[in-house]
Chain A
Amino acid sequence: MAKRRKPKARPPSRRPLLVPRRRAAGRAIEPLDLVRCERFLLHEAQLLDDGKFDDWLALFTPDAWYWVPSEPDQDNPHDTVSLIYDDRRLLETRVRRLASPRIYSQEPRSRTSRIVSNVLIEDSGNNACTVRSKFLMIEYRRDCQRLFAGTAFHRLVQADGAILIASKRVNLVNCDAPLDGIVVPF
């Protein structure tokens, strides 16, 4: 029982990735390695594509922030405007609004398809790391298809074996272009 379980490849749907697994006290924590991080990002992308925004929100820590800068190489979200800059409070409101039957900008709903790739761990410890990845997101809504691309930086932390997002920064390649409204998060 005290033996460390090796992560095995398995169908991702069988085991909920984020539910803390029960384990004996004193057992070593599984490190946040590339395989786990990548699997986590794919899971996140799938939740967003499936429109499971409540489940997506549950991936964030209570003091998380979510940021889509308006400028390339933007220094911080406080001195310059951002396409999105949500602290936890605003992120909760954003997700609640997405479920509203009166959200006219999602009538009809968008459909999205995301590809996450080029995943790299930038700096790591056992319980926290920064993951850099590339993404492509196609958004289709009312006869119109848009393509977004960019780099995401996730600060991931783990507690009780579950991975959570402490912060997420999304650098869009066209962040400073004139853009039609952005409603579905990246």
Chain B
Amino acid sequence: MSNIDAELARLIAPGRVHRRLYTDPAIFDLEMERIFDAAWIYVGHESQIKKPGDYFATRMGRKPVVLVRDEEGKVRVIHNQCAHRGAMVVATDKGNTAEFICCYHGWTYHLDGRVKAVPLNHGYPQGFDPKDPKIGMLPVPRMKSYRGFIFASGASDGPSLEDSLGHMTTSLDDMVDRAPDGEIEVAGGVFKHAYDGNWKVYFENLCDAAHPLFTHRSSIDAALAQSDDVHSDGSGEIAIRQMRQNGAPYSFWETQVGIWTYPNGHSYLGDYHDDSKLVAALKDPVFRKYIAALERKKGKEEAKRILEVRRWNSNIYPNVSLMSQFQQLRVVYPIAVNRTVVHAYSFRLKGAPEQMLRNAVSFANVVNGTGSLVLTDDLEIYNRLDMGMSSEGCEWLQIGRGYQSDVPDAHGGRRGKNSTSEVYIRNMLDTWLGLMTKGQAAPVRAVS
């Protein structure tokens, strides 16, 4: 074990983690290299690049990349960097093009990133060849799509995407299976919310069943006091129900929700709503129509199985989180050790009534909206975590809740016996340590 590996290993202990993980810029830089340049990173969905020439510019960690469908219809993930002087080539978020052209000197690229033309191509040293595969908008070493969800990895070898996802493929399946036609597409725009804080605390909050009752008190109280007889065009309904449900008592959060974790840092929190409470209200005429469509296409039994998968946030480490029941997907972009941006997408279930997307949009406004009555208090927590952790106070942060009571899960993971167990944080840090030390540090210290 190198000195760095040993130092990193000392930062995580049973039931506690050193605050440096969240505040040290050197650790952040290493994370960009050893996690975001090595693990499978979610880059986008195939529906964002439907036709040849469609592209979507995004980032893997801090690196700008382009997701593009080439002339043959093949999905490519290439670096958004000109081979000439290094300028970023694609400057718009999305579009359709026949080729990529650098704005600096006009180097031109095929959709798969190969050089198409170099202007003033004379006088270069012997051996300069624009056809050299090392010159171009270079492909990211590995790219793999799972049921339309595109992941890429900066490492040319390592575990396959499926192996890396493991049991979490069931959450991705659930996103897609809920569409009567078996296909989903990104729709309804995107939220981009930002906070001054470390990227890791975002995922650490998404499976935290212990915080809503406390953190979201202001919106819980406001929603509980809201008259139900006031005009609503529907947008207020789901929002207010969601806020009220955050006020469920601790006894509910501890016993009724469920928290599951799996190898490679993944986890999901069980749903904490029943179907009569939210968008999936069984009495809702739109949802009834949707169930009928699902049953028609998939059969009664399969439709029942699909609707009984009830998960709140499914976190696929390190950068994507889904809410399959509500057609939501969030992508976490680390910007700096103390700055993070999150993009939140909604999906259309093909073959479902169009109103289902509108419900997903209303739901997105409550849980992911930049002006949401709920999310804004979470963003405040992320900011305060960063401010507090930067102090010279307690060096060690406590992540021990449930440590002694977690139990094995049937699919090779561990779950909290109590739903408020912090097992999902310990599980992520376990993976973190493994990736950061390239497997050199024993990956058992964080998990009980």
Contacts and interface: CB of A to CB of B under 8 A. Distances in A.
B232 A100 contact: no
Contact of A178 (B215, B230, B341, B361): B341
B218 interface: yes
A71 B189 CA distance: 8
A182 B192 contact: no
Contacts of A107: 380
Contacts of B215: 104
B366 to A, nearest CB: 9
B368 A81 contact: yes
Interface stretch (A7-15, A87-95, A116-124): A87-95
B364 interface: yes
A147 to B, nearest CB: 16
Interface stretch (B120-128, B151-159, B235-243, B296-304): B235-243
Contacts of B236: 86-90, 93
B380 A104 contact: yes
Contacts of A90: 232, 235-236, 239-240, 373
Contacts of B190: 70, 81
Nearest to A71: B189
Interface in B344-401: 344, 346, 357-358, 361-362, 364-365, 368-371, 373, 375-377, 379-381, 384
Q: How large is the interface on A (under 10, 10 to 19, 20 to 34, 35 or more residues)?
A: 35 or more
Interface in A63-88: 63, 65, 68, 70-71, 74, 77-88
Nearest to A69: B189
Interface residues of B, number: 52
A181 B379 contact: yes
Nearest to A70: B189
Interface string A158-186: 00000000000000000011111111000
B377 A103 contact: yes
B222 interface: yes
A71 B190 CA distance: 9
B189 A81 contact: yes
Nearest to B226: A93
B191 interface: yes
A96 B225 contact: yes
Contact of B376 (A70, A102, A182): A182
A105 interface: yes
A176 B187 CA distance: 15
Interface string B217-232: 1110111011100111
A93 B381 CA distance: 21
B193 interface: yes
Given A68-B371, A81-B188, A105 B376 contact: yes
B235 A77 contact: yes
Contacts of B358: 78-79
B194 interface: yes
A62 B231 contact: yes
A179 B233 contact: no
Of the listed residues A79, A84, A86, A93, the one surrounded by the most CB atoms of chain B closer than 10 A to its CB is: A93
Nearest to A62: B231
B193 A88 contact: no
Contacts of A77: 235
A94 B233 CA distance: 16
A52 interface: no
A21 interface: no
Interface in A2-39: none
A54 B263 CA distance: 50
Contacts of A62: 230-231
Central interface residue in B196, B221, B227, B346, by most chain A CB within 10 Å: B221
A47 to B, nearest CB: 19
A18 B218 CA distance: 30
Contacts of A93: 219, 222-223, 226, 236, 239-240, 243, 373
A167 B355 CA distance: 23
Nearest to B225: A96
15 contacts: A68-B371, A70-B191, A78-B361, A79-B357, A83-B191, A84-B369, A87-B234, A89-B236, A92-B227, A96-B221, A104-B377, A178-B194, A181-B376, A181-B379, A181-B380
Interface of B: 187-196, 215, 217-219, 221-223, 225-227, 230-237, 239-240, 243, 341, 344, 346, 357-358, 361-362, 364-365, 368-371, 373, 375-377, 379-381, 384
Q: Which 9 A-B pairs have the closest CB atoms?
A: A89-B236, A181-B376, A100-B218, A97-B222, A84-B371, A90-B236, A103-B218, A80-B189, A178-B192
Given A70-B191, A102-B217, 20 more contacts: A79-B361, A80-B188, A81-B188, A81-B191, A81-B361, A82-B369, A85-B365, A88-B236, A89-B226, A92-B226, A93-B219, A93-B239, A93-B243, A100-B218, A177-B192, A178-B194, A178-B341, A179-B192, A180-B193, A180-B196
